Amino acid sequence: MPSSAVSPDLGLTFPFHINGDMSERIMTIIESMVPASEVYSIDEAFADLTGIPGDLTAFGRRIRSTILKCTGIPVGVGIAPTKTLAKLANHTAKRLLAQTGGVVDICDLHKRNWVLRNTCVSEVWGVGKKMKAHLEAMNIRSAMDLAKADPRTLRTRFSVVIEKTARELAGTSCLEMGEAEPPKQEICSSRMFGQRLTTIEPIKEAVATLHPACR
């Protein structure tokens, strides 16, 4: 996807408690309003705004109001030149909901720099606790610090993933539509005993039976 401000990305998030049917309804609304979209998870999506005319902030508010009217679900909307920046804009829209109304557009460099300066590096998409500690050891504490870091050094010391993150924060698009790695999923299997237990022996037997399957 082009990295210029005229071909920006839009990131949306929904309340975590929505079910699959509601998520599908919201995704359908998004698809009907943008040139291309990507379902990232049950409560997140990206959209390509290439060719959308006029004020993109107003367009973002129109998407938000349409979804709210049709589903009753308030979503967060972030607009930026790259996916990582769009996620950051979305995070800011939710963090400062009273001031932003749930929509933040940081295609403008001045607004983008303000968000980068005022966002901890731990809040950047893909930066976990371990990476946060590594980055802070390099005196990289804000999203702006990461955007200004040497991407080649980041790749050498860590990975191509954090290199792309830094480049995206600096405004260079590295992730095409459909390229983002989906969030990790947890798989759980649970079983119940047929009756109330009064001794520990049945539990020991059950654990012994299941143990080989858990390896």
The radius of gyration computed from the CA coordinates of the chain, to the nearest angstrom, equals 21
Q: Rounded CA gap, 84 and 161, in Å?
A: 12
CATH architecture of 7-119: 2-Layer Sandwich (3.30)
- Lowest mean per-residue pLDDT among 41-55, 96-110, 175-189: 175-189
User: Which residues contact residue 208 at a Cβ distance below 8 angstroms, ignoring those fewer than 6 apart?
Assistant: none
The mean pLDDT value for 94-103 works out to 92
Nearest to 63 by CA among 50, 85, 47: 47
- Which residues lie across from 39 on neighbouring strands? 45
> pLDDT tens across 173-183, in order?
998 776 555 55
Binned at pLDDT 50, 70 and 90, residue 53 comes out as: confident
pLDDT attached to residue 61: 95
Between CA 106 and CA 147 the distance in angstroms is 14
What does the domain layout of the chain look like in residue ranges?
7-119, 120-176
**CATH tag, 120-176:** 1.10.150.20
Residues 6+ apart with CB under 8 A from 52: 34, 35, 59
* Residue 8: predicted pLDDT: 59
Half-sphere exposure (Cβ direction) of 209: Cα atoms closer than 13 Å: 7
Q: Which residues on neighbouring strands pair with residue 4, listed in sequence order?
A: none
User: Please, which residues have CB within 8 angstroms of residue 2's CB and are 6 or more apart in sequence?
Assistant: 50, 173
Q: What is the pLDDT of residues 9-50, one digit of tens each?
A: 677 776 656 677 888 899 999 999 998 888 888 888 999 998
Q: Among candidates 152, 171, 172, which has minimal Cα distance to 162?
A: 152
Of 108, 99, 93, 84, the closest CA to residue 63 belongs to 93
The answer to whether the pTM exceeds 0.85 is no
pLDDT tens profile 127-186: 999 999 999 999 999 999 999 999 999 999 999 999 999 999 999 999 877 655 555 443
- At residue 107, the pLDDT reads 93
Whether 214 has a pLDDT exceeding 80, the answer reads no
